[in-house]
A and B are shown apart, each in its own frame.
Chain A
Amino acid sequence: MATIELINVEKKFGELHAVQPVNLTIPDGEFVVLVGPSGCGKTTTLRMISGLETVTDGTILLDGRDVTWAHPSERDIAFVFQFFALYSHMRVYQNIAFPLQAQGESRTTIRQRVAEVSDLLQISHLLGKRPGSLSGGDQQRVALARALVRRPAAFLMDEPLGALDAEFRETMRAEIKRLHIDQSATTVYVTHDQIEAMAMGDRIVVMLDALVQQVGTPFEIYHDPANLFVAHFIGSPGMNLITGRFANGTIHLPGDNRYTVPESWVPALQAALGSEGDVVLGFRPEATRVTDTGQLNSTVYAADLHGGFIMLHLNLNETDIVHARGSREIQYPIGTPVRFDLDPEMVRFFDPASELAIRKAVD
Chain B
Amino acid sequence: MSQVSAQPHAHPRRRQPRIQVGDRLLTHLFIWPTLILLIVMNVFPLFYSLYLSFTEYSGIGDTPPDWVGIENYEEILSNTGHPDKRDGNRYWHNFAVTGRYAVMSVGLQLVVGFSLAMLLKEKFRGNGLVTTLILIPMMLAPAVVGIFWKLIFDPSKGIFSYMMYTSNPRDHAWLADPELALWAIVIVDVWMWSPFVMLLCLAGLRAIPDYLYEAAAIDRASAWFQFRRITLPRVAPLLLIALLFRTIEAFKTFDLVAELTFGNPGGDTTEVIALRLYREAFPPQFNTGESSAAAYIILILVIALSNLYIRALGRLRED
Contacts and interface: CB of A to CB of B under 8 A. Distances in A.
B211 A89 contact: no
Contacts of B319: 89
Contact of A103 (B220, B229, B233, B234): B220
B214 A85 contact: yes
A99 B212 CA distance: 13
Contacts of B215: 79, 81, 85-87, 146
Given A87-B230, A89-B233, A89-B319, A102 B221 contact: yes
B291 to A, nearest CB: 46
Q: How large is the interface on A (under 10, 10 to 19, 20 to 34, 35 or more residues)?
A: 20 to 34
Given A89-B233, A89-B234, A99 B214 contact: no
B214 A52 contact: yes
B212 A50 contact: no
B218 A78 contact: yes
A48 interface: no
B219 interface: yes
Nearest to B221: A102
Interface in B57-116: none
Nearest to B218: A79
A293 interface: no
A73 B221 contact: yes
A86 B214 CA distance: 11
A86 B229 CA distance: 13
B244 to A, nearest CB: 20
B220 A73 contact: yes
A72 interface: yes
Interface string B199-233: 00000000001011011111111100100011001
A52 to B, nearest CB: 5
Contact of A85 (B211, B220, B229, B234): B211
A302 to B, nearest CB: 44
A85 B216 CA distance: 9
Interface in A107-128: none
Contacts of B230: 87, 89
B218 A77 contact: yes
A77 B218 CA distance: 7
Contacts of B211: 81, 83, 85
A328 interface: no
A217 B214 CA distance: 31
B205 to A, nearest CB: 14
B217 A73 contact: yes
Nearest to A99: B219
For A73, A79, A85, the residue with the greatest tally of chain B CB atoms inside 10 Å of its CB is: A85
Nearest to B236: A89
Contacts, number: 60
A37 B173 CA distance: 72
A85 B215 CA distance: 7
A98 B217 contact: no
A150 interface: yes
A71 interface: yes
B218 A72 contact: yes
Interface in B214-268: 214-222, 225, 229-230, 233-234
Contact of A52 (B217, B219, B225, B229): B217
Interface string A47-76: 000111000000000000000000111000
A89 B316 CA distance: 9
Contacts of A146: 215, 219
A284 to B, nearest CB: 39
B225 A102 contact: yes
A98 B213 CA distance: 12
A81 B217 CA distance: 13
Contacts of A51: 217
Interface string B281-319: 000000000000000000000000000000000000001
Contact of B220 (A52, A87, A89, A99): A99
B218 A98 contact: no
Contacts of B219: 73, 98-99, 102, 146, 150
Contacts of A50: 218
Nearest to B217: A72
A103 B214 CA distance: 16
A77 B214 CA distance: 12
Contacts of A87: 212, 215, 229-230
Nearest to B215: A85
A226 to B, nearest CB: 33
A133 B211 CA distance: 20
For A51, A77, A87, A150, the residue with the greatest tally of chain B CB atoms inside 10 Å of its CB is: A87
B236 to A, nearest CB: 9
A99 B215 CA distance: 10
24 contacts: A50-B218, A51-B217, A52-B218, A71-B217, A72-B218, A73-B220, A73-B222, A78-B218, A79-B215, A79-B218, A81-B214, A81-B215, A83-B211, A85-B209, A85-B212, A87-B230, A89-B233, A98-B216, A98-B219, A98-B229, A99-B220, A102-B216, A102-B219, A146-B215
Interface of A: 50-52, 71-73, 77-79, 81, 83, 85-87, 89-90, 98-99, 101-103, 146, 150
The 7 closest A-B pairs by CB, nearest first: A102-B221, A99-B219, A73-B220, A85-B215, A85-B211, A72-B217, A79-B218
